[in-house]
Each structure stands twice: as C-alpha cells, then as structure tokens.
C-alpha cells in the first residue's frame, strides 16, 4: 500500500504513467501500430477507410479468423501447431449445411424453416469439430506424431472430406436463423447495442473495483486511485465508442426496404437505422471473454501455459500433458466449428473453398498478436488484435487499389517483420 | 547391520522409506540394478556416485517420474504403489529436482501450487489466495524475496531455488528428495540451504540428498549410500567412514570395513589379488 501511494504522489512521467497503470507495453505497441495503419489507409483512401460503414465491415470480416486465432493461441502455447483449421472449417461447414438443408428438414421431416434447425445444426457442427480436433490431439499426445504432420495430413483430409460430404456442390441457401450468425444479416440494432455496451461498461468497472478490493483485503500493493480511474475511463470510452461507431453504420435503404417488405410493411420515407453490433461480433466477444477466463482463471488454462513453459516440469507436477494435448486440440476443433458457422452464415452458403488458407491467417494472427512459437507465451486479446491488423491490412490495401499479388507480398513481409520486432522487444526487456 | 549402533532419533523403528531390489533398464542398460536404500524420520541420507551411476534414476522412481521394472517400495513399512508424480505426492513425497522443474513463464505462486492450485468455490484458480500463501512461506524461507508478480525466468538462481524449495516444503512433505540442491548456488545461498535442511530434519522429515560434493554430504548427511554402474556399492553412517574411503567407493567400488557392502561392491578376493 505504502509504495503505491508513494508512486502516486510523484509527478507522472510517461514511463511511470505506463508502469502505474500496469499496462502491457506490448499491447500498447500493437495498438499503436494498428492506429498508425488505420490513419495511413484513411489518408490514402481519402477518408473512406475510417467510415463507420467500413469499420463495421472490417469487424465482420475479422470474426471467423479471430475466433480460431483464440484457440490457436492455446495450441501454439503448448508448443504445437494446427495446419488443419481451414480444412476443418470446410468439413464442419459442409456438415452443418447438409444438416440444415437436407438431413433435418427432409430426412428427419422437420421441414424447412423449422425454428430448431439452426441450433441442432450448430450443436452437431460443434460436436463434429470437437471430435475431429480431439482425434488429432490424441494422435499428437498419445501416439507421439508431431502436430505439424498430423495437421498437415488433416489439411488434406478434411478439405477433401468436405468435398465428399457435398459432392463438390455449393450447399444452400442456409436456414434463415442460422444465417443471422453471419454478420450484416444479423445485428442487434441501436437500442440493444447501447444496452450491451452499458452492461459491458458496468461489468468492467465492477471487475476493476472487485480486483482492487481483493488485493487490498490481502494487503497486497494496489495501483494508485487515479490510475484505476484512468483505466476505467479509457475502457468505458473504448466500449461506448465502439458501440457508437457500429450504430453509426447505417443499414442501406434497399436492405431496409426488403426488411420491412419481409414483415409485410412499407418503410416510412426517410427512415435511417443503424446496424449496431453484429451477432457474429458479439459471438467473438463472448468467445474472447470465455477464452481469457479459461486461460487465466482455470486449472486447464494454467496447465496449458505451464506445459508450454516447461513440459517436463508440468509432467513432474502431476499434470497429464497427453490428455491436455487432446483437450487443447478438441477446443481448437470446437472453435473451428463456430468459425465455420459464422463463415458459412456470412456467405449464406457452404462452398467448397470456404476457409481456404485460413490456417495461415489464423497462425499469422496469433503470432502477430505476440504468441511465441517456442511456447508458453501468448494472449487471447493479442491474437484478436493480430487478426484485426491482418484484416485491416488486406482490405485497406484492396481499397487503396494495391494489386492482389502485391497485397499478399506485403502481408507476408509484415508477418516476418512483426515477429522480428517481437524478438527484439523481448531481448530488450529480457522477457 | 553388525553391532547395534548408537541410538539415533527415529532409528530402530520402521523406516520411513524402504526401496528394495529395485531394477530398471533403458534399452538394455541396467540403469538401476537390484538396489536397496532406506530412510528414517529425521534423517538425511546422501546418495553419491558418478554421473550415470543410477542415483538420480533410483530417486526418480521414488518421486514417480519412472516406473521400476521390478522391486518394492515401502512407506512406513507398507508396500506403496507409485506410478506417477501424483501418487508420490499422495504419500507426502516431495522432490526438488536439479533442474528445479519450474515453468519459467509463470510467477512464483503459480509454480508453487502447480498441479495443486487453490480454487474458489466456483472452481476458478484463486491467484490472490495463492499469492498470499506464497508471501507467507517466502517470508520464512527467504525474507528478501520480493518478486511475486514476475515470471520466475526473471529471478536469480537462489530465488528460483527458494521457489522450488518452498513448493516442496509448503505441502507438509514427510519425505523430501533433493537432487543437487546447491549445484547452481553461491556460497551464501548454499549455506541457507544447509540451514534449511537442518531445520527440516529437526521437524522429523526424512531427506534423500543427491550430491556430487563430498564436503556437503559429510556436513549434512547422517548416512550415505554410494552407487556405481546402477548398483549399490555400500551404505555407511557418515561417522564410520572417511572421505577417502567414500571416494574409493565412488571411483573403485571398494567397500570399506565401516560400510555395509551392497551388490555393487568389488569382490573381496579381487581386491586381494
């Protein structure tokens, strides 16, 4: 307590400001790079990049890769790799598409448009994803086949298993409720978005307060009050700002007309409605919170990081590292299934090439987000930010009009540079 | 054993640990070959031998890291089944490994409670409670220890050692295995470990001390067992043998008169010839 009050009374310089707020300097660096990137694109696109409409699109485009990237963090932290996520996504998307267009409505006789179809299809997909993931994890953990090989095989197997399930056809249109997971087709609207935003603000402040109370109760040093207040203000502003931007993304008039027409009404003249938070983005936020809790607050998460830091020590501490491998891959499979739902819902169809090259995007997102391939280090929020940076880079370049081959070249270079910067940073801080 | 020895605390009753006729092979190499060791409460037994003599392997069988091919382990005179580190812990056997076996990326509290986390009623790990407990035990073991929130990678050798020791001591160990506990330490820290061993002995723990350092062993141990090529050369009370005799046991496998010979002792007539 005493040293905390001491540092609070000093005039805050930039360095002590960061340390008093106990901010992650790596996170700050990444956010800084992201902001610079966005501003640069905004200048080159004459202000088209940072419009609410484009930010809305960016968040929707990021979701599928970002959800898988959170699982990839655990995989890479335990010193493994999963090259099969894009193909697994395709297989699960095919399974879910066939379920909701053929098996459930026709074979089981539920009829098209039955309200239970979306949830049954989703649950079946999640189970299939988790089982396939667990199977790959079993081969890695119990049979001792390197994850690189198992999932390289998986990359070929599941991509083409998807082909067999669908006979190479595009399956659709998907169930209407299911398709709401895709993005623009399913948003919360302005009112609910504000409610969710306010609840999130209240929850964050409550978390900050209760963490402080707990530490004080144990007599541990706590941050100075002004630092806590600053954090609370920054977090609240970020949440509400995000909601405001998504609410400012107006639904195109034609789409509004269709929505009203679908309910048998005519659209009032001059009506403007914002999208609000897309359901897919809400899904990503829920996944991010859940995965962060798993990483930090559960034994499973603790063991994931311990095993990545020192597999022998984990084993000697009585941790069943083989079973842990199975669980980590099963979780990855489940998240692939969720991404498959979002990706196919966004298209409205399940196509053969869905998720192609996603394995590389997902791994790049995790690595740009600070996950170390040597294991033991990585954060969920880092991976999501990594996915967002990748997506911004790609769509930003497309908006500027960079040639497609050059886009990929730039993304490749950025990936390598990001890791180099990370290595240099770790060397300097001795992390 | 020959004439009844001077009565020592704990001696004469059932041994805390007996490992009898233990064998283990790795790819045809007899790493441990019909070995016998025992340990009484309040006693420190040194295990000596060259690299590859089998002492670490023998002790890893007790700590559950390896499963023996044959042989019996008895705890308090009762046969014990130890198939995993978890089993060993259930018998209150704690091990401080030479490598310390710390997860470098986690902080002191997470390492101390690794595999035995304190949890809240909802099943989440209780980091604050664990940090509080860590601060409590560290204030006894190493009052200078202040870095509770950083990964143990950022700690000095001595600080890391105190984390490893705290982990072994915190959970009320009855049998403590220390594998080269002072190998990476400075003079002052080595002394601290020595004092700690004396203190734990007074509390009635049995300690196996694996060491290369004969000086350490003579200073800290009540008895010593020497191994060579996977076999026990002999076991002796520290005061019954000289350092030179122990060196002879380690290097030549020659068992002196003050020690009870094991299967690894050089044959008598071979010595005479």
ipTM summary value:
0.84
Domain ranges of chain B: 12-92+175-273, 100-172
Who among B65, B102, B115 is closest to A310 (CB)? Answer: B102
- Is there a contact between B104 and A310 if contact means CB atoms under 8 Å apart? yes
DSSP state of A181: G
- Is there a contact between B125 and A215 if contact means CB atoms under 8 Å apart? no
Angle at A285 between CA B131 and CA A37, to 5 degrees: 100
A212 close to B (CB below 8 A)? no
| Predicted structure pTM score | 0.88
- Tell me the C-alpha distance between B219 and B243, whole Å: 11
- Tell me the C-alpha distance between B265 and B272, whole Å: 14
Q: What is the pLDDT along chain A (431 residues), one digit of tens a residue?
A: 334 333 444 444 566 666 666 677 788 888 998 999 999 999 999 999 999 999 999 999 999 999 999 999 999 999 999 999 999 999 999 999 999 999 998 888 888 878 899 999 999 999 999 999 999 999 999 999 999 999 999 999 999 999 999 998 999 899 889 999 988 888 898 999 999 999 999 999 999 999 899 888 888 878 888 888 999 999 999 999 999 999 998 888 888 888 888 888 877 877 888 899 999 999 999 999 999 999 999 999 999 999 999 999 999 898 999 999 999 999 999 999 999 999 999 999 999 999 999 999 999 999 999 898 888 999 999 999 999 999 999 999 999 999 989 988 998 898 898 888 888 887 877 65
The DSSP result for A29-77, as a single string, is HHHHHHHHHHHHHHHHTTT-TTSHHHHHHHHHHHHHHHHHHHHHHHHHH
Structural contact between residues B208 and B176, judged by C-beta atoms closer than 8 angstroms? yes
Best interface-test mutation with A: which of B99, B103, B154, B171 has the largest number of A CBs within 10 A? B103
- Tell me the C-alpha distance between A77 and A307, whole Å: 8
Who among A305, A313, A431 is closest to B101 (CB)? Answer: A313
A123 close to B (CB below 8 A)? no
CATH superfamily, domain B12-92+175-273, is: P-loop containing nucleotide triphosphate hydrolases (3.40.50.300)
pLDDT of residue A430: 62
Q: Is A307 helix (H, G, I), strand (E, B) or coil?
A: helix
Who among A303, A305, A430 is closest to B105 (CB)? Answer: A305
B97 close to A (CB below 8 A)? yes
B114 close to A (CB below 8 A)? yes
For chain A positions 236-295, those within 8 Å of chain B (CB to CB) are: 293
Who among A214, A309, A316 is closest to B85 (CB)? Answer: A316
Measured between CA atoms, how close is A30 to chain B, in angstroms? 21
For B50, list phi and psi in degrees, rounded to 5.
-65, 170
- Is there a contact between A318 and B84 if contact means CB atoms under 8 Å apart? yes
- Tell me the C-alpha distance between B171 and B21, whole Å: 29
- Is there a contact between A313 and B124 if contact means CB atoms under 8 Å apart? no
Q: Is A281 helix (H, G, I), strand (E, B) or coil?
A: helix
Structural contact between residues A405 and A415, judged by C-beta atoms closer than 8 angstroms? no
Contacts of A299 in chain B (CB under 8 A): 117, 119, 125
**Helical H segments across A167-298, by residue range:** 176-179, 189-217, 225-248, 253-262, 279-297
Contacts of B92 in chain A (CB under 8 A): none
Measured between CA atoms, how close is A414 to chain B, in angstroms? 27
Structural contact between residues B66 and B60, judged by C-beta atoms closer than 8 angstroms? yes
pLDDT of residue A117: 92
pLDDT of residue A56: 94
Rounded (to 5) percent helix, strand, coil in chain B: 35, 25, 40
Who among A218, A297, A306 is closest to B114 (CB)? Answer: A306
The 10s digit of each residue's pLDDT in B16-74 is 999 999 999 998 888 999 999 999 999 999 999 888 888 889 999 999 989 999 999 99
Question: Going by DSSP bridges, is the β-strand pair B175-179/B93-96 parallel, antiparallel, or unpaired?
Answer: parallel
Best interface-test mutation with A: which of B95, B96, B105, B127 has the largest number of A CBs within 10 A? B105
H helices, E strands: number in chain B: 9, 11
Contacts of B154 in chain A (CB under 8 A): 430
Measured between CA atoms, how close is A358 to chain B, in angstroms? 29
Who among A220, A297, A313 is closest to B102 (CB)? Answer: A313
In the predicted model, residues of chain B with pLDDT beneath 50 are 1-10, 269-273
A372 close to B (CB below 8 A)? no
B150 close to A (CB below 8 A)? no
- Tell me the C-alpha distance between B104 and B160, whole Å: 9
Q: How many CB pairs under 8 A join A and B?
A: 84
pLDDT of residue B52: 83
């Amino acid at each position: 307590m005493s040293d905390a009050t001491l540092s609070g009374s000093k005039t805050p310089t930039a360095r002590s400001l960061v340390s008093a707020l106990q901010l992650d300097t790596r996170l700050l660096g990444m956010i800084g790079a992201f902001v610079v990137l966005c501003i640069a694109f905004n200048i080159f696109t004459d202000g088209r990049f940072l419009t609410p409409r484009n930010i809305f699109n960016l968040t929707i485009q990021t979701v599928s890769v970002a959800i898988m990237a959170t699982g990839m963090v655990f995989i890479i932290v335990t010193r493994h790799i999963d090259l099969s996520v894009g193909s697994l996504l395709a297989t699960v998307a095919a399974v879910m598409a066939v379920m909701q267009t053929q098996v459930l409505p026709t074979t089981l006789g539920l009829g098209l448009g039955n309200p239970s179809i979306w949830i049954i299809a989703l649950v079946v997909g999640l189970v299939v994803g988790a089982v396939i993931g667990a199977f790959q994890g079993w081969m890695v953990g119990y049979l001792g086949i390197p994850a690189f090989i198992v999932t390289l095989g998986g990359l070929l197997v599941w991509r083409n298993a998807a082909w067999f399930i669908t006979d190479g056809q595009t399956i659709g249109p998907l169930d209407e409720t299911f398709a709401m997971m895709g993005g623009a087709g399913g948003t919360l609207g302005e009112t609910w978005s504000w409610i969710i935003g306010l609840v999130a603000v209240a929850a964050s402040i409550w978390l900050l307060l209760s963490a402080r109370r707990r530490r004080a109760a144990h007599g541990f040093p706590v941050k100075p009050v002004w630092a806590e207040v600053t954090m609370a203000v920054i977090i609240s502003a970020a949440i509400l700002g995000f909601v405001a931007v998504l609410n400012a993304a107006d639904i195109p008039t034609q789409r509004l007309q269709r929505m009203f027409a679908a309910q048998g009404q005519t659209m009032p003249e001059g009506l403007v409605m914002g999208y609000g938070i897309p359901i897919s983005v809400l899904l990503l936020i829920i996944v991010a919170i859940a995965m962060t809790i798993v990483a930090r607050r559960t034994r499973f998460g603790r063991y994931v990081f311990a095993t990545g830091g020192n597999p022998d020590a984990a084993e000697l501490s009585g941790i069943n590292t083989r079973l842990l491998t199975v669980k980590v891959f099963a979780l990855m499979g489940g998240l692939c299934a969720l991404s498959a739902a979002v990706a196919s819902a966004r298209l409205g169809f399940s196509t053969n090439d869905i998720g192609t090259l996603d394995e590389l995007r997902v791994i790049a997102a995790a690595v740009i987000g600070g996950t170390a391939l040597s294991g033991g280090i990585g954060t969920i929020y880092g991976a999501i930010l990594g996915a967002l940076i990748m997506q911004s880079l790609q769509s930003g370049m497309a908006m500027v009009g960079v040639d497609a081959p050059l886009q990929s070249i730039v993304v490749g270079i950025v990936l390598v540079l990001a890791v180099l910067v990370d290595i240099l940073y770790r060397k300097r801080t001795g992390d | 054993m020959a004439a009844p020895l001077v009565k020592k605390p704990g001696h004469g009753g059932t041994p805390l640990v007996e490992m009898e006729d233990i064998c283990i092979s790795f790819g045809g190499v007899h790493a441990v070959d019909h070995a016998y060791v025992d340990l009484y409460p309040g006693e420190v037994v040194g295990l000596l031998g060259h690299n590859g003599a089998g002492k670490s392997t023998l002790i890893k069988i007790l700590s559950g890291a390896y499963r023996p091919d044959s042989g019996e382990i008895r705890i308090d005179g009762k046969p014990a089944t130890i198939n995993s580190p978890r089993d060993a812990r259930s018998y209150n056997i704690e091990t401080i490994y030479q490598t310390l076996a710390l997860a470098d990326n986690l902080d002191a509290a997470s390492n101390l409670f690794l595999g035995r986390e304190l949890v809240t009623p909802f099943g989440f790990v209780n980091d604050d409670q664990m940090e509080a407990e860590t601060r409590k035990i560290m204030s006894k073991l190493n009052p200078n220890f202040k870095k509770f929130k950083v990964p143990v990678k950022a700690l000095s050798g001595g600080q890391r050692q105190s984390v490893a020791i705290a982990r072994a001591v915190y959970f009320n160990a009855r049998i403590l295995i220390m594998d080269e506990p002072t190998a990476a330490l400075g003079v002052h820290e080595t002394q601290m470990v020595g004092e700690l061993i004396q203190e734990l002995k007074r509390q009635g723990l049995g300690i196996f001390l694996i060491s290369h350092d004969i000086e350490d062993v003579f200073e800290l141990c009540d008895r010593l067992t020497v191994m060579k090529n996977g076999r026990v050369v002999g076991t002796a009370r520290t005061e019954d043998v000289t350092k030179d005799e122990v060196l002879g046991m380690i290097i030549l496998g020659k068992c002196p008169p003050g020690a009870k010979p094991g299967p690894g002792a050089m044959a008598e007539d071979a010595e005479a010839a």
